[in-house]
């Protein structure tokens, strides 16, 4: 059975005090209410990773970073390496989020290197792929997403690819209030899984968790998570509200 994962991407939000309050609320709610085999991940801004990890202690909630450098170390002011994440025992890192692609020009080749760095340091990459509105309207979204997966993941061997979590994010549904229908989400998740299966075999593809990342909310999570190939969510704005985020996590149980 594939691992169910719900990861909250806080993006560039919250002061440290606010982050501690949110984490404390989530710890209590998750401990009291969340049952079943689901991993909850909080992807916090870099300055908060260690404070939040320390606060979580023995909680079932995990912490993740929102990015990592393609370099191990060196004169790269402002960057954070996967080696640094490993030294803090941070188990997850988001790689290739649509905002990184859009605002920082990250391309498939660069992201392939970042995936390699994360895996080399035993940090699980949550690799993002997805199409903007104009590509969806042209009907070339499947081809683009397949290309993104190929460019950044298909250099991996059979063992390594199974350590990657994939997140499909229809860019047109992020922060817009729009959400792909459950059928649109399932269709694209199936395309991704079938594309991986074509290279690595069905047995391998069936082990890889694929998360949906397009305006997941408490009121649509259950329908999305009921889809055969949707194994959880990468949650943006809703992850900043403790009650709504926990309702999303509960929806996958």
Which runs of E-coded beta strand occur in the chain? 4-9, 38-43, 62-65, 92-95, 124-129, 165-168, 210-212, 232-235
Positive or negative: CA dihedral 25, 52, 234, 31: negative
In our burial notation (b when 16+ CB lie closer than 10 A, e otherwise), range 109-140 reads ebbbebbbbbbebebbbbbbbbbbeebbeeee
Helix (H, G, I), strand (E, B) or coil at 41: strand
Residue 209's CATH number: 3.20.20.70
pTM: 0.97
Which ranges constitute the DSSP H helices of 130-178? Answer: 133-138, 141-153, 158-161
What pLDDT shows up at residue 133?
A: 87
Q: What is the length of the chain?
A: 253
Domain count, the chain: 1
| Active-site residue, selected from the candidate residues 70, 106, 131, 169 | 169
Inter-residue contact 153 to 161 (CB < 8 Å): yes
CA neighbor of 127 nearest in space, from 145, 105, 103 = 145
pLDDT (tens, 9 = 90+) of the chain, 253 residues, equals 899 999 999 999 999 999 999 999 999 999 999 988 999 999 999 999 999 999 999 999 999 999 999 999 999 999 999 999 999 999 999 999 999 999 999 999 999 999 999 999 999 999 999 999 899 989 999 999 999 999 999 999 999 999 999 999 999 877 666 768 999 999 999 999 999 999 999 999 999 999 999 889 999 999 999 999 999 999 999 999 999 999 999 999 7
Concerning whether 97 is annotated as a catalytic residue, the answer is yes
Q: For residues 142 and 131, what is the distance between their CA atoms, to the nearest angstrom? A: 8
Which entry of 97, 141, 189, 195 is annotated as an active-site residue?
Answer: 97
**In the prediction, which pLDDT does 172 show?**
85
What local confidence, expressed as pLDDT, does residue 177 receive?
A: 67
Helix, strand, or coil here: 127?
Answer: strand
Instruction: Identify the domain containing residue 193 by its residue range.
Output: 4-251
Nearest CA to 186 out of 221, 140, 238, 225 is that of: 225
């Amino acid at each position: 059975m594939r691992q169910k994962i719900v990861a909250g991407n806080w993006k560039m939000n919250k002061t440290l005090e606010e982050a501690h309050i949110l984490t404390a609320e989530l710890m209590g709610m998750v401990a009291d209410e969340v049952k079943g085999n689901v991993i909850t991940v909080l992807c916090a801004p870099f300055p908060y990773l260690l404070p939040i990890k320390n606060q979580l202690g023995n909680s079932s909630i995990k912490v993740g970073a929102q990015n990592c450098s393609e370099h191990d170390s060196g004169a790269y002011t402002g960057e954070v390496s996967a080696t640094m994440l490993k030294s803090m025992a941070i188990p997850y890192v988001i790689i290739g989020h649509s905002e990184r692609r859009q605002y920082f020009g990250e391309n498939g080749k660069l992201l392939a290197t970042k995936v390699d760095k994360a895996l080399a340091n035993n940090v699980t990459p949550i690799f993002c792929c997805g199409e903007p509105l104009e590509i969806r309207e042209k009907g070339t979204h499947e081809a683009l997403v397949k290309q993104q997966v190929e460019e950044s993941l298909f250099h991996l061997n059979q063992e390594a690819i199974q350590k990657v979590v994939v997140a499909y994010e229809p860019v047109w549904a992020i922060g817009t209030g729009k959400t792909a229908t459950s059928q649109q989400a399932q269709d694209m998740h199936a395309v991704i899984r079938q594309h991986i299966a074509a290279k690595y075999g069905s047995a391998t593809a069936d082990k890889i968790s694929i998360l949906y990342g397009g305006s997941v909310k408490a009121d649509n999570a259950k329908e999305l998570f009921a889809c055969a190939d949707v194994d959880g969510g990468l949650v943006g704005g809703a992850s900043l509200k403790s009650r709504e985020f926990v309702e999303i996590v509960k929806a996958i149980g």
